[in-house]
Structure 1
Amino acid sequence: MVDDVLARIETTADRWRHCAGCRRWWPRRALAPRWTCPGCAAPFRMSAVDRIGFLVDAGTFQEHEAALTPGDPLDFRDRIPYPLRHARTRERTGLREAALLGTAAIAGRRVVLVVFDFDFLGGSMGVVVGEKVARGAEIALHERVPLLTVSASGGGRMQEGAFALVQGAKTAAAIGALREAGVPYLSVLTDPVIGGVQVSFASAGDVVLAEEGTRAGFAGRRVIEQTTGRTLPADFQTAAFLLRHGHVDLVVPRHELPGCLGRLVAYATRAAAREPTGGTGAPASLARPVEAVDPWDAVLAVRAAHRPRLAHYLDTVFTDVLELHGDRLRADDPTIFTGLARLAGDPVVVIGHNRVTDGSRPRNGGMALPAGYRKATRAMTLAERWSIPVVTLVDTPGAHPDAEADNQSAAIAETMLTAARLATPVLCAVIGEGGSGGALALAIGDRLLMQQNATFSVISPEGCAAILFSDSAKAPEAARALHLRATDLHRHGLIDEVVDEPPGGAHTAPALAGELLAAALRRHLAELRGQSGPALVTRRSRRLRALGRAWCRHGDVATDAGRATDATGRNGVHSG
């Protein structure tokens, strides 16, 4: 069907394209398949037909609802009647409407896709386009395969008035049904996406990608400037702007888009074949040396610059890591990493504190801002929708203390509330410093592990000493009193396992430290997989409910509530 449309297009006068970059004219055939300028590599706007041919596996696209055309409910006329304008656009583009709906395969996996064509009345959404988006969501829901939309639109179709406006409600409701059912939805923004399409469904994907060079937003630049009377920044609504302000997960160069979508569809397709799981040859544990490290020395060691951090474990524990950005509200805090990855071939969502500054993206020593915790919450919700386990790696002295205006407290609270009730496995590991509520937000799950030399505490030793001893110099004494080492916490029943490190610490053999952590994560995830979402939530709730109950007293007698064992015989604080 795509070939038929392409043949119709080739019979029109649209055989040459002008490059806005180098200002040269190029024959249409010379631009395929990427539609970038042969002279300066600037991207050309792609038709829906070319876009489909570029993204999907050859010969797999099957069009649906091809015959739909709109009526003229308003008897609308500007310079010419709407039916005549529509007919002329059909003849010029070879298309019946501004979007194509169909099914296809991407990297061998079936998807439903709706692809817009800006050359058809500016990619505007009227009753037919709205119907195709809603119908695409219904097909995806029925077949339980991902929906992919590729948007390029100036907004609602003016010639259809309020009939066009309410398509936003219809498409939003259709995407909401997908979200409720846990059917993945991927949205790709291409230049431009404005108004009704952006506010109803294009910005609501589980994952939102912007093609490099895209502009997207609620209203066009000219409208905003005329309405507000102010001059907007030069990069306003550009892909870089969207990424910096947390509106999109990724900005992808056009030539990388098929490969990126292939990876995302593989994660989003629960029935996708996985690489065989199994060991890496790493030992599950080492003979632990006699513990002689003073708690204050442990604090200093875990803060040391040479200790392996998140980036090291992303490289050694996981494969096929794909970072996702943004809180979808106002920012992308690089202190919190979120992304998709594979652990021994199995898909997981990874969330972790990233405390190492790379020069261009300050990370505040691992102290996350509210946008970071909102991003973590969004990643957890994505994992639940796609039925993928969550792995968190904790390494922070605490949340950023100077973020009250952006409601740091509520951001952390929402992350905790989400983690506590998430209907998918949640496995947490402290790999460095675990400080206060900023660490706890990523330490709520079915199991909590700690590397042997990590720490986990309600407050920093310095803070404790300043408050209780009125002398921050007594931080070493406070560290000893806080029992913040992994072995202390395991003895108290507050964590589930101490993960061995190489003798002398993780920094002495970083690769081995990664293997040991990977082995522990694999083992615990294997125990958690296969449990239903409700069962996970029930057991996690029981585990969290039991924390510390053994130390609740009636008068001078400790209660037995916290000492109860579950069916496995494990102490209540350990039940997973």
Structure 2
Amino acid sequence: MTQTTPATADWIACHRCRTLVYGKRLARDLGVCPDCGHHAPITAPQRLAQLLDEGSIVPLPSPVTPEDPLGFVDTVPYPERLRRARESSGLDEAVICVKGTIAGRPVVVTAMDFRFLGGSLGIAVGERITRAADVALAERAPLVMITASGGARMQEGIFALMQMAKTSGALAELDEAGVLTVTIVTDPTYAGVAASFATLADVIIAEPGARMGFTGRRVIEQTIGQRLPDDFQTAEFLLAHGLVDDIRPRAELRSVLARLLTLQADRPGLPDWEDVRDGTARDHADGQDDRATRGGPAARPTGPPSRRDPWENVQRARGIDRPTTLEYLATMMDSFIELHGDRMSGDCPAIVGGPAVLDGRPVMVVGHQKGHSTAELIARDFAMPTPDGYRKAARLMRLAAKLRLPVVTFIDTPGAHPGLEAEERGQAIAIAENLRLMARLPVPIVAVVSGEGGSGGALALGVADRMIAFESSIYSVISPEGCAAILWRDRTMAPSAAAALRIDAASQLRFGVVDEVIPEPDKGVQDDPMLGAERLRKALTVALDELVARPVQELLRDRRRRFRDIGIASVDVDQEGGAK
């Protein structure tokens, strides 16, 4: 199936499976083979017609740019190559830039077309994409970039190379302004395009089988002298290595974009990152021993005492049948789009996250994910994140800050993954970076301890303005077994360690670590997950309603004070040794 024939030829042979497909059916299926699912290349005009609302497309002006800055000649003069490309493609350049709407929401779209000199990046393409970004910036409309390119245009030499810096700078301006950017990766996307604007978007979605990379497969194989994996640089390979957020069939792209575009909204009262940084030094100076003048810690609710033996509480918190993060999201959220990868090396399945809508309010959700079956628990590594997972969480929280979305985290982990590879990839650094990031994240953060909160692996999602815990949850510096092995030198003393550590939710409430405890049915939240989800939804809504109304500097000041007070503020101790 070629790029020029899907809608015209009577019968077309699929490039992958060689099945003959009726041309009109292939056109209805957007160029996707009904037998094997192969996504044949389609043109930029076809892309725009598929994705944007009918009648909404308004072409952006095409700037006048130099056409042959080097006077380049190979087998034919460069101007002749341009003439032939225009004649064969019907386009004047390798990208079309338009304004329009998707599901009624305004958007700016740049669509590359591989038919025009391999979709190469030259002066004209770079200038058009940059000007499209300028329009998105001026109108605060999301920018969607559809890529199809072999890389920078050789015939324009250093001028083509400089377009990588120009377009990347334009994306940086959109980041600073909080404008959503999305890349749709189509086959192929290589070299200068892949190494600039294509991979700088907030969300990167790839079509099945689409290839993306810096250096082509053949060149790499010739250089290193070995055969690469069959799926090398494909969308599936990229997803597994944390380099794209998702893979979606062509027929789903429009609906996914429509949902993503709802994230773009101005939210008064939340400043840009620079405003937060400017206020940091002043905030610290104002609070430099402000504990002496604040009159002690804020009053904490006492909450009901724990109804269970501490060790029984530990077993309940670890119960394999307790609802998982994804199950809470499916029950509570109006919508959820899972995003993947740390954009560096991997996609840790122990942490899930992405934008969601809670009672009409867009939020960013990040949480540990366990499972119920042995197979899922193993696949999710029992919710013990690697550095990839914490870096994925950090990426999503930075995106939340850019788009001014409140963050909701779900904590349910025995701790961070212990292992050689995790240490080699900087496990401690990844956790520390999250703690620092969350301490100054300029949006409200609400954390939920839904099950087991183990050590720094849990706290890496727990630096929040509000902490909500389910009644049977636990939160601790170490597992009772680990504590018993170190201090009692006997792991069978774990029940005694659990009691001594006071890791139950009621104790955490009295200590000021937790702000609210959600009651559970007598047999635990797993006995009525819908009730638990509804109680959590109400608690989250109340917390977010209060937090989003607060000025961001006040939010950050109180977040800092919250953690400065824990363990420092005066605490009365009753005769049994418990805080009250």
CA distance in 2, matches of 1:290, 1:439: 24
CA distance in 1, matches of 2:208, 2:263: 23
CA distance in 2, matches of 1:157, 1:503: 68
Letter in 2 for 1:57: D
Q: Trace 1:106-505 onto structure 2 (pairs within 5 A).
A: 106-270=102-266, 291-356=306-371, 359=375, 362-402=379-419, 403-505=422-524
Post-superposition CA distance 1:101-148 (Å, at most 9, x none):
111101110011111000000000000100011111111111111111
For 1:75, which of 67, 71, 78 is the aligned residue? Answer: 71
Q: Structure 1 residues 479 and 379 mapped into 2: Cα distance closer, same or farther (>3 Å)?
A: same
Paired residues of 2:320 and 2:372 also in contact (CA < 8 A):
no
Aligned pair count reads: 530
What residue number does 1:3 align with?
none
Q: Trace 1:525-564 onto structure 2 (pairs within 5 A).
A: 525-550=544-569
What residue number does 1:278 align with?
none
Secondary structure of 2:206 counterpart: strand
CA distance in 2, matches of 1:54, 1:323: 23
CA distance in 2, matches of 1:26, 1:431: 51
In the TM superposition, what is the alpha-carbon distance from 1:292 to its structure 2 partner? 3.0
Q: Structure 1 residues 265 and 15 mapped into 2: Cα distance closer, same or farther (>3 Å)?
A: farther
In the TM superposition, what is the alpha-carbon distance from 1:41 to its structure 2 partner? 4.6
For 1:509, which of 504, 519, 528 is the aligned residue? Answer: 528
Q: Structure 1 residues 502 and 357 mapped into 2: Cα distance closer, same or farther (>3 Å)?
A: closer
Letter in 1 for 2:108: V
Letter in 2 for 1:365: F
Letter in 2 for 1:262: A
CA distance in 2, matches of 1:17, 1:52: 23
Q: Structure 1 residues 459 and 551 mapped into 2: Cα distance closer, same or farther (>3 Å)?
A: farther
Paired residues of 2:184 and 2:207 also in contact (CA < 8 A):
yes
Where in structure 1 are there 5+ consecutive unaligned residues? 1-5, 272-287, 554-570, 572-576
Paired residues of 1:303 and 1:433 also in contact (CA < 8 A):
yes
Secondary structure of 1:152 counterpart: strand
Q: Structure 1 residues 69 and 35 mapped into 2: Cα distance closer, same or farther (>3 Å)?
A: farther
Paired residues of 1:313 and 1:514 also in contact (CA < 8 A):
yes
For 2:16, which of 21, 28, 32 is the aligned residue? Answer: 21
Letter in 2 for 1:528: L
CA distance in 1, matches of 2:319, 2:411: 16
Letter in 2 for 1:181: A
Q: Structure 1 residues 544 and 499 mapped into 2: Cα distance closer, same or farther (>3 Å)?
A: same
Q: Structure 1 residues 157 and 357 mapped into 2: Cα distance closer, same or farther (>3 Å)?
A: farther
Letter in 2 for 1:364: D
Post-superposition CA distance 1:444-481 (Å, at most 9, x none):
11111111110001111111111111111111111111
The CA RMSD over aligned residues, in Å, is 2.4
Paired residues of 1:146 and 1:185 also in contact (CA < 8 A):
yes
CA distance in 1, matches of 2:435, 2:396: 13
Where in structure 2 are there 5+ consecutive unaligned residues? 268-302, 573-579
In the TM superposition, what is the alpha-carbon distance from 1:30 to its structure 2 partner? 5.4
CA distance in 2, matches of 1:129, 1:462: 61
Q: TM-score, normalised by structure 1?
A: 0.88
Post-superposition CA distance 1:488-513 (Å, at most 9, x none):
11112221111122233212211111
Q: Structure 1 residues 222 and 15 mapped into 2: Cα distance closer, same or farther (>3 Å)?
A: farther
State the identity %.
Answer: 47
Secondary structure of 1:341 counterpart: strand
Letter in 2 for 1:481: A
What residue number does 1:63 align with?
59
Secondary structure of 1:338 counterpart: strand
Q: Structure 1 residues 305 and 40 mapped into 2: Cα distance closer, same or farther (>3 Å)?
A: closer
Q: Structure 1 residues 453 and 25 mapped into 2: Cα distance closer, same or farther (>3 Å)?
A: closer
Letter in 1 for 2:418: P
Q: Structure 1 residues 73 and 291 mapped into 2: Cα distance closer, same or farther (>3 Å)?
A: closer
Q: TM-score, normalised by structure 2?
A: 0.87
CA distance in 2, matches of 1:25, 1:302: 56
Say which structure, 1 or 2, has more relative contact order (CA 8 Å, 6+ apart). Answer: 2
Paired residues of 2:334 and 2:358 also in contact (CA < 8 A):
yes
CA distance in 2, matches of 1:373, 1:442: 9
Q: Once structures 1 and 2 are overlaid, which stretch shifts more, 336-345 or 542-551? A: 542-551
What residue number does 2:27 align with?
32
